[in-house]
Amino acid sequence: MSHFEKYDIVVIGAGPGGYVAAIKAAQAGKKTLCIDKAELGGICLNWGCIPTKALLKSAELMHYTKKAADFGINTGAVTHDFAKVIERSRGVSGTMTKGIEYLFKKNKVEFLRASARVIASNLIEATSADGSKKNITCDAIIVATGASPAVIPAFPIDGKNLISYRQALECKEQPKKLLVIGAGAIGVEFSYFFNAFGTEVTIVEALSQLLPVEDKDSAKVLAQAFKKQGITAHTSAKVKSVTVVKDGVIDAVIEDSAGKEIKLTVDRVLVAIGMKPNTAGLGLAEAGVALDARGFVTVNAHCQTSSAGIYAIGDCTGRQMLAHKASFEAEVAVAAILNPKKAHGLNYGQIPGCTYCQPQVASVGLTEAKAKELGRDVKIGKFPFTASGKAQAIAAADGFVKLIFDAQTDAIIGAHIVGIDATEMIAELCLALKVEATAAEIGATIHAHPTLAEAVMEAALDAHGEAVHI
Amino acid sequence: MSHFEKYDIVVIGAGPGGYVAAIKAAQAGKKTLCIDKAELGGICLNWGCIPTKALLKSAELMHYTKKAADFGINTGAVTHDFAKVIERSRGVSGTMTKGIEYLFKKNKVEFLRASARVIASNLIEATSADGSKKNITCDAIIVATGASPAVIPAFPIDGKNLISYRQALECKEQPKKLLVIGAGAIGVEFSYFFNAFGTEVTIVEALSQLLPVEDKDSAKVLAQAFKKQGITAHTSAKVKSVTVVKDGVIDAVIEDSAGKEIKLTVDRVLVAIGMKPNTAGLGLAEAGVALDARGFVTVNAHCQTSSAGIYAIGDCTGRQMLAHKASFEAEVAVAAILNPKKAHGLNYGQIPGCTYCQPQVASVGLTEAKAKELGRDVKIGKFPFTASGKAQAIAAADGFVKLIFDAQTDAIIGAHIVGIDATEMIAELCLALKVEATAAEIGATIHAHPTLAEAVMEAALDAHGEAVHI
């Protein structure tokens, strides 16, 4: 039996794009419904950002516990309980999901666990797990359905031998030998994680460096760190084949950068390449929403699709697949719906990227290579953590801060940090980029001593040839 | 035998004021000499900022190692080797001191280990440890001699039963019961440190909160954390007497906030109140340099003393006794010497303060109380780490970010953070204050997810009633 319900705004998807959009819409007084067929919080809270950070905290602690004697602390033999590491991570996700539930209640966002299908720009059909259907009318729809691992014929994910991040996050049995295909943030973080707990990890990247979107200097330091940690990394390399001989025995053939074939046998393969938008079966095309060749929703600067009244945000629209990009697009879409005259866009050049292995890698703005490719006249300042008192005091001297400034205006155009706290330190540079701060301003900002952040100040001074500690 | 040597600039003191001044002067092409009777790096590198951070890293690791099982990591019984904790800290200081040695060589700063006496604004007499004397002439003198624990008749430091931070930093024997007098940054950091290793700590503060210079909300969270950690803290309280019965047995009488007397016996007392400037015996008054009633050098906005050609920076001039304040005054003084017409001052309202216990406490700009006292019309935004996904993932949900904005201009005027990484996070707000960023700008800055720094963005949004996650 079908009946109609009426909302101002319906958001499809409850991830960091969708739930933020729903809350923002409700805060603005709109009667808002959020529909998702799975857990509140989406991939981010349940299968991405949050649970991986819990795992990585355990990995870091494992690393430090093993080195505790250097700090005057004796621990006896250090072992780990892999299932418990995973269990804690799942628990953290559970807590955060409850947090969103609370926020929805507080802001009076209604939540419906169902599959949604867009019938028209003001009509959605929602099908619950028990097959019951509801028709929902609304003034505006925000599509925030995210993305998921693509099917790659050469590497068919079976969830057991070939796995994606999703299965990696709940695998209770630790692989002994792991092949990771793809050295983006996901591949790199899981390589670090499993290696920290004693898994023998080989990571293969087709492009010429680990973390291909990062500055060359950052990738170089990471490669050195991975080598020291015992991770085998092949860049400019291909995984030519993976063959499941039997469960837990997978033969792989890698072609390295010199064209040499390397054979190895592993018990698990993590496929960390290829994402596809979750746009199939939503009825978008039928409702007049244009998709690109790969299925991503086409949107304008205000996250509006080709169908008036339908907006799309986050991973399903492509570009950087990052939770904070989705959350900011949520704000853009809601603002455009609330008041088309005050609609604004997002500066996609100001979206930071973070990888939470150790040392961490973070950046915002242009890489040196990109700046030069764009013909920008740049001034570069750099400061290594080896010269930082705080880094020495906490035994974390790997890495550097590299800042890129426009030579004419002195304004910052790019920032790259590798180091123990890089993902937090990048926030200062995100603000710097937002307000177009200059090297002179950053260098003249009093930074507390002793902090790692002093390296930001010194890098800015270095761009003017005025650093003190190098 | 006495002979003359001629320099452009002579810096007396090789701490974070003096060594930075010497390097900056030399970088500007000035023939520069730095004189200190003790180690390069001053208190900061040898007996302050740096070695304490090494100790606190061990304390943090002790804390986490004991809780490792929560993260899926099993250890045997956790014990510690206190002498080794101290030894590592001393080693870090040694490394950093060598770093300054290298920087002096690189920048062609000459260093003389000697006691200096100012004879006139262009003449210094230096006396080495062996009694040999040198007369040195110069165009300008920068006095950067720092400060040291004052003699307080009621609490006579003997270096054994009653100690200062200095002896605390090299005590190879851990106290079992420690009384800490004074809850400024030094008292609080050592309380945290010793307690983490099992010392029974009582800390007494005369004013109404721990860390009296910090915002009331920050002190409140710290007090809760200390209580949970097992530290006994008395605020609005007095240490009425300490009596050394015999070595290692000290009777103390505390009057608590209710006027009740509390008697306790401890084996060590850390006196963390009262600093005096190191200006006696330098010949400053004779050279026409005005000192205030407490002996601090009186300086103008350009760090110039009442005697032309003599400048003073850092702790010996009073105000905030912080290494980064000294380093920035070094820059101010050198700029004034190089080009009086381009002399500039320092904004003393933009100096961050950090306390490195756990949770850390950091701030910059005005407290809420101070802003109101000044009659400022404020908007306040706050965000608790309990609502931060990153904080939950790393099991560090204590604390908050509190931002204070001018209600008219929307510009930030104060920032207060309590939390696991507060001392690094404050850097973003130091820049914000420097460039007069608004709540709107900070709230619209894309912060990476998941990071603790998102709490800064949310606090800024909260000031406009627009936070998403609370």
> Residues B49-72: pLDDT tens digits?
999 999 999 999 999 999 999 999
- Domain membership flag for residue A468: no
- Show which of B230, B248, B272 is a domain's final residue: B272
**Structure-token match 């624990």, residue found:** B149
pLDDT of residue A2: 46
Residue A330 tokens read as 């949520």
Q: What does the CA dihedral B352, B357, B360, B365 come to, rounded to 10 degrees?
A: -20
Residue in B57, B362, B441 nearest the CB of A393: B57
Residue in B27, B62, B430 nearest the CB of A447: B430
Whether the ω angle into residue A175 lies within 30 degrees of 0, i.e. cis, is no
Decide if A392 and B50 are in contact by the 8 Å CB cutoff: yes
d(CA A470, CA B269): 40
Domain count, chain A: 3
- Domain membership flag for residue A155: no
d(CA A115, CA A98): 21
Residue B59 tokens read as 């304390």
If asked whether residues B285 and B413 sit together in one domain, one would say no
- Domain membership flag for residue A470: no
Residue in A76, A424, A425 nearest the CB of B75: A76
What does residue B376 show for φ and ψ, rounded to 5 degrees? -75, 140
Predicted TM-score of the model (pTM):
0.97
- Domain membership flag for residue A156: no
- Domain membership flag for residue B410: yes
Residue in B437, B454, B468 nearest the CB of A435: B437
What is the amino acid identity at position A422? Answer: A
pLDDT of residue A5: 86
If asked whether residues B143 and B33 sit together in one domain, one would say yes
- Chain A residues whose CB is inside 8 A of the B214 CB are none
Decide if A64 and B64 are in contact by the 8 Å CB cutoff: yes
Residue B316 tokens read as 């010996």
- Domain membership flag for residue A157: no
Nearest Cα residue to B23 out of A458, A332, A391:
A458
Decide if B81 and A64 are in contact by the 8 Å CB cutoff: no
If asked whether residues B26 and B115 sit together in one domain, one would say yes
CA B103 to chain centre: 23
Classify strands B400-406 and B378-384 as parallel, antiparallel or unpaired: antiparallel
Residue A256: give the domain boundaries. Answer: 162-273
ipTM here: 0.97
User: Looking at CA atoms only, how far is residue A300 from chain B in angstroms?
Assistant: 19
pLDDT of residue A292: 97
Q: Is B469 a residue of the active site?
A: no
Q: What is the mean pLDDT of chain B?
A: 96
- Chain A residues whose CB is inside 8 A of the B83 CB are 72
User: Looking at CA atoms only, how far is residue A189 from chain B in angstroms?
Assistant: 14
**Residues of chain B above pLDDT 70, percent:** 99
Low-confidence ranges of chain A (pLDDT < 50): 1-2
Decide if B84 and A68 are in contact by the 8 Å CB cutoff: no
If asked whether residues A224 and A372 sit together in one domain, one would say no
Query: Tens digits of per-residue pLDDT, B255-298?
Result: 999 999 999 999 999 999 989 999 999 999 999 999 999 999 99
If asked whether residues B11 and B116 sit together in one domain, one would say yes
pLDDT of residue B3: 57
Q: Which H or E run contains A95? A: helix A82-107
What number of residues does chain B have?
Answer: 470
Is the predicted pLDDT of residue B470 greater than 50, yes or no? yes
Q: Which residues of A17-47 are buried (b: 16+ CB within 10 A; e: fewer)?
A: bbbbbbbbbbbbebbbbbbbbebbbbbbbbb
Whether residue B79 contacts residue A74, with contact meaning beta carbons closer than 8 Å, is answered with: yes
- Domain membership flag for residue B353: no
- Contacts of residue B178, defined as CB under 8 A and 6 or more positions apart, other chains included, come to B191, B194, B199, B200, B201, B202, B266, B267, B268, B269, B270
If asked whether residues A225 and A200 sit together in one domain, one would say yes
If asked whether residues B142 and B177 sit together in one domain, one would say no
- Chain B residues whose CB is inside 8 A of the A353 CB are 448
If asked whether residues B183 and B112 sit together in one domain, one would say no
Q: A3, A416, A447, A449: which is the annotated catalytic residue?
A: A449
Q: What does the CA dihedral A152, A156, A162, A167 come to, rounded to 10 degrees?
A: 80
Whether residue A206 contacts residue A238, with contact meaning beta carbons closer than 8 Å, is answered with: yes
Decide if B350 and A446 are in contact by the 8 Å CB cutoff: yes
Whether the ω angle into residue B359 lies within 30 degrees of 0, i.e. cis, is yes
- Chain B residues whose CB is inside 8 A of the A392 CB are 50, 92, 95-96
Whether residue A344 contacts residue A334, with contact meaning beta carbons closer than 8 Å, is answered with: no
Is the predicted pLDDT of residue B159 greater than 70, yes or no? yes
DSSP A339: -
d(CA A323, CA A15): 8
Whether residue A424 contacts residue B452, with contact meaning beta carbons closer than 8 Å, is answered with: yes
Decide if B450 and A323 are in contact by the 8 Å CB cutoff: yes
Decide if B427 and A449 are in contact by the 8 Å CB cutoff: no
* CATH code assigned at B192: 3.50.50.60
Residue A410 tokens read as 């002195």
**Residues of chain B above pLDDT 90, percent:** 97
- Can you give chain B as a three-state secondary structure string? CCCEEEEEEEEECCCCCHHHHHHHHHHCCCCEEEEECCCCCHHHHHHCHHHHHHHHHHHHHHHHHHCHHHHCEECCCCEECHHHHHHHHHHHHHHHHHHHHHHHHHHCEEEEECEEEEEECCEEEEECCCCCEEEEEEEEEEECCCEEECCCCCCCCCCCCEECHHHHCCCCCCCCEEEEECCCHHHHHHHHHHHHCCCEEEEECCCCCCCCCCCHHHHHHHHHHHHHHCCEEECCCEEEEEEEEECCEEEEEEECCCCCEEEEEECEEEECCCEEECCCCCCCCCCCCCECCCCCECCCCCCECCCCCEEECHHHHCCCCCHHHHHHHHHHHHHHHHCHHHCCCCCHHHCCEEECCCCEEEEEECCHHHHHHCCCCEEEEEEEHHHCHHHHHCCCCCCEEEEEEECCCCEEEEEEEEECCHHHHHHHHHHHHHCCCEHHHHHCCCCCCCCCCHHHHHHHHHHCCCCCCC
Is the predicted pLDDT of residue B2 greater than 80, yes or no? no
Whether residue B237 contacts residue B210, with contact meaning beta carbons closer than 8 Å, is answered with: no
pLDDT of residue B267: 97
Residue in B72, B74, B351 nearest the CB of A88: B72
- Show which of A316, A348, A380 is a domain's final residue: A348
- Chain B residues whose CB is inside 8 A of the A45 CB are 389
If asked whether residues B20 and B92 sit together in one domain, one would say yes
Average of per-residue pLDDT across B414-441 = 98
- Show which of B229, B251, B272 is a domain's final residue: B272
If asked whether residues B9 and B107 sit together in one domain, one would say yes
Query: Tens digits of per-residue pLDDT, B125-150?
Result: 999 999 999 999 999 999 999 999 99
Q: Which residue in chain B has the smallest CA separation from A92?
A: B393
- Domain membership flag for residue B266: yes
If asked whether residues A286 and A264 sit together in one domain, one would say no
* CATH code assigned at B427: 3.30.390.30
From the CA atom positions of chain A, what is the Rg in Å?
Answer: 24
Residue from A80, A88, A451 to probe the interface with B (highest B Cβ count within 10 Å): A451
pLDDT of residue A3: 57
pLDDT of residue B241: 97
d(CA B401, CA B405): 13
DSSP A385: G
Decide if A390 and B20 are in contact by the 8 Å CB cutoff: no
Partners of residue B253 on adjacent β-strands: B241, B263
Query: Tens digits of per-residue pLDDT, B317-364?
Result: 999 999 999 999 999 999 999 999 989 999 999 999 999 999 999 999
Q: Which H or E run contains A227? A: helix A216-229
If asked whether residues B311 and B388 sit together in one domain, one would say no
